[in-house]
Chain A
């Protein structure tokens, strides 16, 4: 009996002591604030942790934890978290309607008066996260670009030059094919890549035009089956024969392997792939998909990620301070250094990137107009119809005119 009493007493004592001790240690670090950050970039944990560690050096009392979800689950998961009040303090915001929906629902904070946001980002770069009345619901973070990856070794060996017009590009493909190469690595099996990388990333900006033209289609002033669009679909039909034999069943991963193993000479793709070829056993570079003769080459420089804060965060000041830091030259530079290769800062300042291929991508922008992917800003409903139309044209089951008509008929 006595033993038990002693045991109970000593237990009680240890609990009290430890709780006193614990509360003391808590008091000592009372200023330590933990913020969580939601994201769909599950691949970037290392890079983001580096970035957040850099921030902690500047603001030691704020600890930001990066908690990404699978890309395909992000929208649904975030929505669920926000609805149940367990949303992250800071989070990635999708561009255009998908992001704005969450602002309208009252989850994303109004970021308009974050210092530096309005001054340090151009109107074009802010547009994807701007409401109709000019409010900003996120801080632009990174954009992706699109270009033709090409095998420099083979170009050099065969004495080929970078094409300046679309017509040049086709004859380049034909030359390569005659010499026994597979000119392009692109395939259609996975569907999204042929639309996002090839058609929207390379063809539409050059055959249809940049933002000024895009707006006319959005307003209905121009039809999606006009001659420009028919020509764009025709371009897809023209390149089909330069894709790998059996391109109908070539997936995105297959395309990467074909390019990386030098089985295909060129690959029209997004900048986010650049990291994949960092150990490639050959020299490679990128060039802008050229416009047809007489038109200006336009680059698809797509606003992809932005950061915003939760309206219900317990630490609005700290969250806001982090976003403001991203709007400074210092913050943006640190962020850019820690972004994966192929993601580009959107801030006005000149930021030198370290990766040579990333710089090569950025250099393509100089002197050229850039725009987001055609359907993103206002015509997202047309994504699937356009995707099917592009593939049908390539396979020859639709004429370019029929393809353009099928997309126009789906416009609401």
Chain B
């Protein structure tokens, strides 16, 4: 005990070492290395040459590459907006319902909402792909009188991206629901009680007391949604293909990056790591630019 007191100034630093080690080796170093890579051309250590900003210039001036990039960028924004609107609104709604005093069988509903989150995207994506495919679900839909729903949803350029996004919302809606539920439960009962005494309606309670109290969580969820969706890749990979079929309409920055930087375009399959790293670097900058102001705006209220 005495010994512990003696080094009390710095001893906690040792506890950080394992985490710091893994963070540096597996997060910080690869991140910095990938930033560095974006200034080089060539795929392997031996053939790498410094090219300055050439990768970025190619990405935005080559007509084919810039079209692909900007289309992917817009699709990613749409993908993100759909998540914000559908997934997070549903999350708040579910949380309000789940924390309502009159709610019965709370645990059961909570489990149902959270189950998809625990499943692998490749599996849920594939299941939805089959369900949205008229070849497999058409007969069943016709039997129950919903034959008009048997459309090639994922093969149509107009419906593919919204549907892929909605499947992703379905899968992840459990996370915001959980976080909002926890936030609502943390609101001191006295505040609600006091509001009631003053004659506030349920809507007033929600708008004037509950929402301001959960603002830090709203900010956190917005950031999580933003970061996850700008890195999204798996759901498109599972439901469409790495080209973002049909006709690149579901091509996200994630799939574009995979095609350019990791796998290479089929069938030649020679990746351009420099260009891929350039795409990743821009995404990193976009994420920082989005996350930092949101953090500042929503997290200061905690103090």
Q: Which of A79, A248, A258 contacts B155 (CB 8 A)?
A: A248
Q: Given A72-B269, A188-B246, A254-B135, A246–B150 Cβ distance below 8 Å?
A: yes
Interchain CB contact (< 8 A) of A249 among B43, B47, B152: B152
Indicate whether B289 reaches chain A with its CB closer than 8 angstroms: no
Q: Is the CB of A388 closer than 8 A to any CB of chain B?
A: yes
* B246 proximity list for chain A (CB < 8 A): 188-189, 191, 248, 391, 395
Asked if residues A245 and B241 are in contact (CB atoms below 8 Å), the reply is no
Q: Mark A244-269, 1 if CB is under 8 A from B, else 0.
A: 11111111001000100000000000
- Residue from B150, B152, B267 whose CB has the most chain A CB atoms within 10 Å: B267
- Chain A interfacial positions (CB closer than 8 Å to B): 72-76, 79-80, 83-84, 97-98, 101, 187-192, 196, 244-251, 254, 258, 380, 383-384, 388, 391-392, 395, 397
In Å, the complex CA distance between A74 and B269 comes to 8
Q: What's the Cα separation between A75 and B240 when bound, in Å?
A: 24
Q: Mark B130-166, 1 if CB is under 8 A from A, else 0.
A: 0011111010000000000011111111000000000
Query: Does B231 reach chain A (CB closer than 8 Å)?
Result: no
Interface residue? B270 (CB, 8 A): yes
Q: Are the C-beta atoms of B44 and A249 separated by less than 8 Å?
A: no
Contacts of A244 in B (CB 8 A): 135
Q: Are B243 and A79 in contact (CB under 8 A)?
A: no
Answer whether residue B6 sits at the interface, using C-beta atoms and an 8 A cutoff. no
In the assembled complex, which residues on chain B have CB atoms less than 8 Å from the CB atom of A97? 268
Q: Which residues of chain B are within 8 angstroms of A245 by Cβ–Cβ distance?
A: 134-135, 138, 150
- In B255-303, which residues have CB < 8 Å from any A CB? 262-271
The number of chain B residues with a CB under 8 A from chain A is: 37
B268 and A249 contact, CB distance less than 8 A: no
B46 touches A246 (CB 8 A): no
Q: Which residue of A lies closest to B263 (CB)?
A: A72
B194 within 8 Å of A by Cβ? no
- Find out whether the CB atom of A246 lies under 8 angstroms from the CB atom of B270: no
B134 x A249 contact (CB < 8 A): yes
Using Cβ atoms and an 8 Å threshold, which residues of chain A touch B16? Answer: none
Q: Are B155 and A189 in contact (CB under 8 A)?
A: yes
Min distance, Cβ B270 to any Cβ of chain A, angstroms: 5
Bound CA span A84–B44, Å? 9
Query: When A75-B270, A246-B138 are in contact, do A191 and B44 touch as well, CB less than 8 Å?
Result: no
Flag whether B197 is at the interface (Cβ < 8 A). no
A80 touches B44 (CB 8 A): yes
Q: A248-B156, A254-B135 are in contact. Are A190 and B241 (CB under 8 A)?
A: yes
When distances are taken between beta carbons in the complex, the residues of chain B under 8 Å from A192 are 266-267
Whether B245 is near chain A, meaning CB under 8 Å from some CB there, is yes
**Contact present for A75 and B264 (CB under 8 Å):** yes
Please state if B270 and A98 are interface contacts (CB–CB under 8 Å): yes
Q: How far is the CA of A75 from the CA of B151 in the complex (A)?
A: 38
In the complex, A194 Cα to B247 Cα: how many Å?
13
CB of A249 within 8 A of CB of B265, answer no
Residues from chain B with a CB closer than 8 A to the CB of A397 are 157, 247
- A-chain residues with CB within 8 Å of residue B155 when the two chains form the complex: 187-189, 246-250
- Considering the complex, which residues of chain B in the window 63-102 have a beta carbon less than 8 Å from any beta carbon of chain A? none
- Tell me the bound Cα distance from A250 to B246 in angstroms: 11
Cβ-defined partner of B133 (8 Å) among A84, A250, A392:
A250
**Contact between A83 and B45, CB atoms less than 8 A apart:** yes
With both chains docked as a complex, state the minimum distance between the C-beta of B129 and any C-beta of chain A, in angstroms: 8
Q: For A384, list chain B residues within 8 Å (CB).
A: 243, 265
What are 15 A-B interface contacts by the 8 Å CB criterion? Answer: A76-B271, A83-B44, A83-B46, A98-B270, A188-B155, A189-B245, A246-B133, A246-B138, A249-B155, A250-B155, A254-B133, A380-B268, A388-B247, A391-B247, A397-B157
Q: Do the beta carbons of B135 and A75 come within 8 Å of each other?
A: no
How far, in whole Å, are A98 and B268 apart by their CA atoms in the complex? Answer: 6
Please, how many angstroms separate the alpha-carbon atoms of A384 and B271 in the complex?
15
Among candidates A190, A383, A391, residue contacting B267 with C-beta atoms closer than 8 Å = A383
Assembled-state Cα–Cα distance A249/B131 (Å) = 11
Q: Which 9 A-B pairs have the closest CB atoms?
A: A248-B155, A246-B134, A249-B155, A248-B152, A249-B152, A83-B44, A246-B152, A83-B46, A249-B154
B43 CB contacts on chain A under 8 angstroms: 76, 79-80
Q: How far is the CB of A351 from chain B (nearest CB, A)?
A: 28
Contact call A247/B152, Cβ cutoff below 8 A: yes
Q: How many Å from the CB of B138 to the closest CB on chain A?
A: 7
Give complex CA distance A192, B135 in Å.
20
With A247-B152, A249-B153 given, can you name 4 additional A-B contacts, CB distance below 8 Å? A187-B155, A248-B246, A254-B135, A383-B266
Nearest opposing residue in chain A for B44, CB measure: A83
Q: With A188-B155, A189-B246, A250-B135 in contact, do A84 and B45 touch (Cβ < 8 Å)?
A: yes
Q: How far, in Å, is A199 (CB) from chain B's closest CB? A: 14
Q: CA separation between A312 and B155, bound complex, in Å?
A: 48
| Known A-B contacts A98-B270, A192-B266; A249 and B241 likewise in contact (beta carbons under 8 Å) | no
A70 and chain B: residue at smallest CB distance = B263
Q: Give the docked Cα–Cα distance between A383 and B266 (Å).
A: 9
List the A side residues contacting B44 at CB < 8 Å: 79-80, 83-84
Contact in complex: B268, A83 (CB < 8 Å): no
**Inter-subunit contact A84/B247 (CB<8 Å):** no
For A391, what are the chain B residues with a Cβ–Cβ distance below 8 Å? 246-247
A83 to B135 CA separation, bound complex (whole angstroms): 47
Alpha-carbon distance A217/B137, docked complex (angstroms): 44
**A154: shortest Cβ distance to chain B, in Å?**
18
